Chains A and B, each alone.
Chain A
């Protein structure tokens, strides 16, 4: 299927710089559907407050990998997971970890903008807190307004919607909807943000806005960005991991990976020979 197997250098899994602590450490992760393995023995570090881009041809397991990072993968009937994922050195697959609580620490933004259609913009932002009952304790109105404004501001959407917070979430443009979904994820105050091809349904201008936003979010959050768009990976990330058939081929600082890839297959992929 792929060009002749190149002599394989050990995948570089080290952080961009030694001083940055590792936020998420993937260790020998296996994941699949039923008997079909999709992610194989994958080991990877995500440094804190950095953007890791995951690239690779369609179907190579990018979505499956990120969905293992917040334990969404196991919700699919028949899904299998093995190995471990350490968040701040604690295995999220350990027996005493409640996946529901874990997902509040690791937010996710999906490929297709999916604001809740029955809720207003404001309620969409608050959805995570309302759903989990976090607002039931009777927080004061100004405090709740503050949460809404802060999340929308961080998602670079506040100025566009501050006068119509009561409008339906679905009344926004695609790009705005995606930023609303980002705001919704941020309102829960996660530490890590997983973004699975967040721009693939958006036009170039909306895409540019999200990429700018990722730059700013990086100061507070650890971000894993799946993208099929190599320019986007090059523009928006600190580190890039190249996946092929569920295996990690190479993970390196983005600039290095795109200018001097250490693996033939990476080079073939980024130069457009396949994928």
Chain B
């Protein structure tokens, strides 16, 4: 009796899993088929072109890579720093509470809003223009709450006893955090950071708002250079009327997905490696 009900439930769950998974596989297969004829080493090393068959993603790929590095460079110090403050020094104080609530809310703000903010603050007020650094700063702002939340979780997972052991040895709070808490939390912090960056790299809306351009025939030569990114490039190809560009868009999507897959695999690897190497 109960065995039969168990079977039904198992089937139901399997169906719930299979349906969306099937749709995903179908979509990805469709894109892959469409993009296959464009996918080649030349596609990765070519600049955009009016001729669909010669157009490639090089500026987008480089732009996305640079954005990733710069976003990480901006979001990690601030995010990890804020998390350390909140988790290790914040205690029960009012300000810490207020910040905590705000950070949680910020994570739910639509990404376009960050684009508008970036346009107003970085592009206009700070005069950075429609540049790589303005894009990276905007994306950093976007993922800051994610970095803060995931870092706090990693810090909270470090047993209290380790902090006490450090302090009891005559270390200051900071010495204990730096040498004991952060190393123990590093895998968790790193995993969260990689996932946050991969989220940033998939964002299109804020970059469009701050004015990333799609048609660029040179590579950025510095943080103030104009730039494009993979999702922008894909978006621009998708909106072309010519059917030939649909193949480019599909190939671009495949490249983008592979990149994100690689990043997520890296995150999983970091987590597995350290949790096996650790003592727990």
Beta-carbon contact of B167 and A103 below 8 Å: yes
- Interfacial chain B residues near A143, Cβ < 8 Å: none
The size class of the interface chain A forms with chain B is: 20 to 34
**Contact partner, B169, options A112, A115, A117, A128, Cβ 8 Å:** A128
In angstroms, Cα B161 to Cα A108, docked, is 12
Contact, CB under 8 Å: B169 / A72: no
Given A104-B170, A117-B279, A110 contacting B180 (CB threshold 8 A): no
Are A103 and B164 in contact (CB-based, < 8 A)? Answer: no
Chain A positions within 8 Å of B164 at CB level: 72, 75, 110, 114
State which of B171-179, B220-228, B237-245 sits at the interface with chain A: B171-179
B171 CB contact (under 8 Å) in A112, A115, A118, A128: A128
8 A Cβ contacts from A154-179 to B: 168-171
Q: Are A103 and B170 in contact (CB under 8 A)?
A: yes
Partner of A72, one of B167, B172, B180: B167
Per a CB cutoff under 8 Å, which of A77, A132, A170 touches B170? A132
Contact A100 B171 (CB under 8 A): yes
Assess whether A77 is in contact with B91, with CB atoms less than 8 Å apart. Answer: yes
Q: Is B280's CB under 8 angstroms from A128's CB?
A: no
Q: Which chain B residues (144-186) contact chain A, with CB distance < 8 Å?
A: 159, 161-162, 164-172, 175-176, 179-180, 183-184, 186
- Minimum CB distance partner of A112 in chain B: B161
B160 to chain A, nearest CB (A): 9
Known: A77-B92, A131-B179. A181 touches B170 (CB 8 A): no
Contact of A131 with B176 at beta-carbon distance under 8 Å, contacts A117-B184, A117-B279, A118-B184 already known: yes
Per the bound structure, the CA–CA distance linking A133 and B174 in Å amounts to 12
CA of A103 to CA of B168 in the docked complex: distance in angstroms?
A: 6
A77–B278 Cα distance when bound, in Å, is: 30
Determine if A265 is an interface residue (Cβ-Cβ < 8 Å).
Answer: no
Binary contact track A90-124/B, C-beta < 8 Å → 1, others 0: 00000000001111100110101011111000000
- In the bound complex, how far is the Cα of B175 from the Cα of A128, in angstroms? 10
**CA A116 to CA B280, docked complex, whole Å:** 11
If A103-B167, A103-B168 touch, whether A114 touches B161 (CB-CB below 8 Å) is: yes
Does A60 touch B at the CB level, under 8 Å? no
In the bound assembly, the distance between CA atoms of A110 and B163 in angstroms comes to 12
Whether B159 lies near A128 (C-beta < 8 A) is: no
A169 vs B180: C-alpha distance when bound (angstroms)? 13
**CA gap between A102 and B169 in the complex, in Å:** 10
What is the interface residue range for chain B against chain A?
A: 20 to 34
- Asked if A72 and B171 sit within 8 Å, CB to CB, the answer is no
A103 to chain B, nearest CB (A): 4
A107 x B175 contact (CB < 8 A): no
Give chain B nearest CB distance to A117 CB in angstroms: 4
Is A249 an interface residue, CB under 8 A from the partner?
no
Complex CA gap A102/B171 in Å reads 10
A100 touches B172 (CB 8 A): yes
The residue in chain A whose Cβ has the minimal distance to the Cβ of B169 is A128
Interface residue A127 (Cβ < 8 Å from any Cβ of B): yes
The answer to whether A75 and B165 touch across the interface, beta carbons within 8 angstroms, is no
Chain B CB within 8 A of A44 CB: no
Complexed CA–CA distance, A108 and B165 (Å): 8
B-side contacts of A103, CB under 8 Å: 167-170
A228 CB-CB contact with B under 8 Å: no
**In the complex, chain A residues whose CB is within 8 Å of the CB of B180:** 116, 118, 127, 131
Considering the chains assembled together, what is the distance between the CA atoms of A68 and B175 in angstroms? 22
Query: Are B161 and A188 in contact (CB-based, < 8 A)?
Result: no
Smallest Cβ-Cβ distance to A108: which chain B residue: B168
A254 sits at the interface (CB 8 A): no
A127 touches B169 (CB 8 A): yes
Chain B residues near A184 (CB-CB < 8 A) = 165, 169
Known: A77-B91, A127-B179, A131-B180. A114 touches B162 (CB 8 A): yes
* Residue from B161, B169, B171, B183 with most neighbouring chain A CB atoms (10 Å): B169
Known: A114-B159, A168-B279. A133 touches B175 (CB 8 A): yes
In the assembled complex, A251 has its CB within 8 A of some CB on chain B: no
Q: Given the complex of chains A and B, what is the CA–CA distance between A75 and B280 in angstroms?
A: 26
Q: How far is the CB of B242 from chain A (nearest CB, A)?
A: 56
Q: Which 7 A-B pairs have the closest CB atoms?
A: A170-B279, A104-B170, A128-B169, A131-B171, A114-B161, A108-B168, A118-B183
Q: Told that A114-B164, A127-B180, A132-B171 touch, could you supply 6 new A-B pairs with CB distance under 8 A?
A: A107-B168, A114-B162, A116-B166, A117-B279, A128-B171, A168-B277
